[in-house]
A and B are shown apart, each in its own frame.
Chain A
């Protein structure tokens, strides 16, 4: 069951690669939150209740409700155009994301470790590098934030692989990271939207030598 969920997670990455509208990105992020909730629910049943509730709150409330609503609000408030405006065509994006996945599979397969949950590592590494790729290849600042959130989801999968080992502290760390990044990045997207005409990274190139 976990395999099915994680593979669905991987497929969402391909879906983002060819998605055209920002709203689709937000929906995919919300869907990833639900997927992660399901994975947590199946994977981590032997840790204490309070910890479990905390993680569940983070996935469902944070990743699938609060963050998407907030992003949608930013898009509406700043009147951002609906298209994602990638630098590269969708077809090439799709190929690159596929190559990232294949490379992750090859890398993880080369590890000689019997206790390793390979699928977790494949999905996590793919999400990490796909997120980085989205940050590089999209023009809008808001898509950078979304790329960052995809990286965060990947990291979350990675920490689930070590499930019972991750202590309370690290959970708080993840929560803080998500909370802080969205809040602060969101505030700045607001400010940047008010200051610059269009929310594009092309306007962020004044600092140079």
Chain B
């Protein structure tokens, strides 16, 4: 089944690339979305089955993020379409854009489901390339700079990850094993030299955090978010972060039953705390709407790393937080596309009085403030609360207090910026008045409601998926 999926995606990608006709493009994209939904549902109903000689595997972890990706694909394609119509891009550029988008979604799907570490690594490189095309879509000097940095640093990151894989296979060689699949590796890691495992983990963490956007590799994520088309920013800061998270989570799971577990937790805790600290520092001074939310993404990734490192209920909380963050952060960037069309700028101090200009959008923005800063009824309140509980249970009281202080500062800074955009009068009128259809905000309402629903009252199948995904970790 997965083989057919790959072939269809390849055909659709080629079709979109050569096609220059508007209506046919819509038909191709609709078929692609249906195929994406089909593979997600197929995975959900055939969980724990291998595909393509066991090179791909529908496990709970992959299926959760596959379902998230399927939902976000609809909204991203829709908002990309609106974005391109408003920019009046040439048909050729639209074809390139949508082809890269299809390859990106196909690549991310394959990363989620990859069953061996080598295949996952190659496919992560594929996502870098396709997203680079999308970041460069506006063809300005700034986007060129961001794309260059993104491709270059991601390539170095992916090289580091490869070094980690080499060290891991060195450890496996001692155990006389040549199998690099995720299900087989943990069986052989019991009595190997922990020095290799430590090196492998640290290199892979640094390498894959170019994708997850953890400190110190977060800068490219932020720069890419600044210049990418808003619907693509929505992908960069959600589904692509999930790619990095899955890679790090799988690596962590591999080594979780060896003696280096406390050491790994220590590293993750520091990485998470530093991410949180850096994001606080920058959010306090930032004046660019997209960069502010990119740093907010860094904050949430830091919290996820802390949750993962604390163990216990923290594993569950980290997974839940990733899912909810995907829905919320995606709606942020769909909304930012409208904000840009109204004001013609991303600079917060040049905006104002958004309530008068776009009522539905302003309501979304208000709801977004509540959701992003995890104030109840935001779903992320639940997951953050669980992360705090895991910190408490791990007896990290000092860190717990510092994290709370940092989060309060972030809440204040985000609130100050969003409220000034919503309520303060605009100093100088920029451009002419643009009327935005309220229907464009409907997807954001749907996604935010979904995030609240999943956080407050998660359906049983969702809980079961998460619990299965963290089953391999120590209690």
Question: Which residues of the partner chain B approach A152 to less than 8 Å between Cβ atoms?
Answer: 159
B182 within 8 A of A: no
Tell me the complex Cα distance, A195–B147, Å.
14
C-alpha gap A115/B196 in the complex (Å): 13
User: Contacts A128-B163, A166-B169, A204-B145: A185 and B122 contacting too (C-beta < 8 A)?
Assistant: no
Q: Let me know if A115 and B174 touch, CB within 8 A.
A: yes
When chains A and B are docked, how far (Å) is the Cα of A21 from the Cα of B173? 42
Nearest residue (CB) in B for A115 is B174
B129-171 contact mask (Cβ, 8 Å, vs A): 1 or 0: 1001000000001101111110110011011001101100110
What residues on B are CB-neighbors of A184 within 8 Å?
129, 132, 151
Minimum distance in angstroms from A42 CB to a CB of chain B: 20
* Interface magnitude class on chain B: 35 or more
Besides the known contacts A173-B118, A180-B129, 19 further A-B residue pairs in the complex with CB atoms under 8 A apart: A111-B193, A148-B155, A148-B156, A148-B159, A152-B159, A159-B166, A162-B170, A165-B169, A165-B173, A167-B178, A180-B155, A184-B129, A188-B151, A191-B144, A192-B148, A203-B145, A206-B141, A206-B145, A207-B142
Closest Cβ–Cβ distance, residue A115 to chain B (whole Å) = 7
Given contact pairs A165-B173, A165-B178, A209 touches B159 in the complex (Cβ within 8 A): no
Chain B nearest CB from A174 CB (Å) reads: 8
Least distance between B39 CB and chain A CB atoms (Å)? 23
> Contact between B118 and A113 (Cβ–Cβ < 8 Å)?
no
Which of B44-75 touch A at CB < 8 Å? none
Cβ proximity bits A125-136 to B, threshold 8 Å, 1 near / 0 not: 000100010010
From A111, A115, A206, A209, B286 is in contact (CB under 8 Å) with A209
For A159, list chain B residues within 8 Å (CB). 166
Shortest 6 CB-CB contacts between residues of A and residues of B: A169-B118, A207-B223, A204-B145, A181-B155, A188-B148, A173-B122
- The answer to the question of B195 belonging to the interface, with a C-beta cut-off of 8 Å to chain A, is yes
Residues of chain A contacted by B159 (CB below 8 angstroms)? 148, 151-152, 155, 177
A190-208 near B? 1/0 per residue, CB < 8 Å: 0110011000000110110
Q: What string of 1s and 0s marks CB contacts (under 8 Å) between B247-288 and chain A? A: 000000000000000000000000000000000001001101
Q: Which residues of B contact A185 (CB under 8 A)?
A: 151-152, 155
CA distance A199 to B193 in the complex (A): 46
CB of B156, distance to nearest CB on chain A (Å): 7
- What residues of chain B lie closer than 8 Å to A167, measured between beta carbons? 118, 178, 180
With A158-B163, A162-B169, A185-B155 as given contacts, are A195 and B125 in contact (CB-CB < 8 Å)? no
Does A47 belong to the interface (CB within 8 Å)? no
Which B residues between 276 and 312 are near A, CB-CB below 8 angstroms?
A: 282, 285-286, 288, 291
Selected contact of A207 from candidates B132, B146, B174, CB within 8 Å: B146
Give complex CA distance A162, B286 in Å.
Answer: 47
- Asked if B144 and A192 sit within 8 Å, CB to CB, the answer is yes
Where the two chains meet, the residues of A that have a C-beta atom closer than 8 Å to any C-beta of B are: 111-113, 115, 128, 132, 135, 141, 144, 148, 151-152, 155, 158-159, 161-162, 165-167, 169-170, 172-173, 176-177, 180-181, 184-185, 188, 191-192, 195-196, 203-204, 206-207, 209
Contact B152 A169 (CB under 8 A): no
Is chain B's binding surface mostly helix, strand, loop or mixed? helix
Residues of A near B195 (CB, < 8 A) are 111, 113
Say if the beta carbon of B339 comes within 8 Å of chain A. no
A176 touching B145 by the CB < 8 A rule?
no
| Cα-based distance from A84 to B147 in the complex (angstroms) | 24
Bound Cα distance A128, B207 (Å): 14
Can you report 12 residue pairs joining A to B where beta carbons are below 8 Å apart?
Answer: A162-B170, A177-B125, A177-B159, A184-B129, A185-B155, A204-B148, A204-B149, A206-B142, A207-B146, A207-B149, A209-B282, A209-B286
CB of B119 within 8 Å of the partner chain: yes
Q: Among B122, B145, B291, which residue has the most Cβ atoms of chain A within 10 A?
A: B145
Contacting residues, chain B, for A148 (C-beta < 8 A): 152, 155-156, 159
Q: Which residues of B contact A158 (CB under 8 A)?
A: 163, 166
In Å, the complex CA distance between A115 and B193 comes to: 12
Question: Known: A162-B169, A184-B132, A204-B145. Contact between A170 and B174, CB under 8 A?
Answer: no
| Min distance, Cβ A191 to any Cβ of chain B, angstroms | 6
A179 CA to B156 CA in the complex, in Å?
14
B227 sits at the interface (CB 8 A): yes
- Does B369 belong to the interface (CB within 8 Å)? no
Q: What residues on B are CB-neighbors of A207 within 8 Å?
A: 142, 145-146, 149, 223, 226-227
B132 touches A177 (CB 8 A): no
Q: Are B155 and A155 in contact (CB under 8 A)?
A: no
User: Which residues of the partner chain B approach A132 to less than 8 Å between Cβ atoms?
Assistant: 156
Q: Using Cβ atoms and an 8 Å threshold, which residues of chain B touch A113?
A: 174, 193, 195
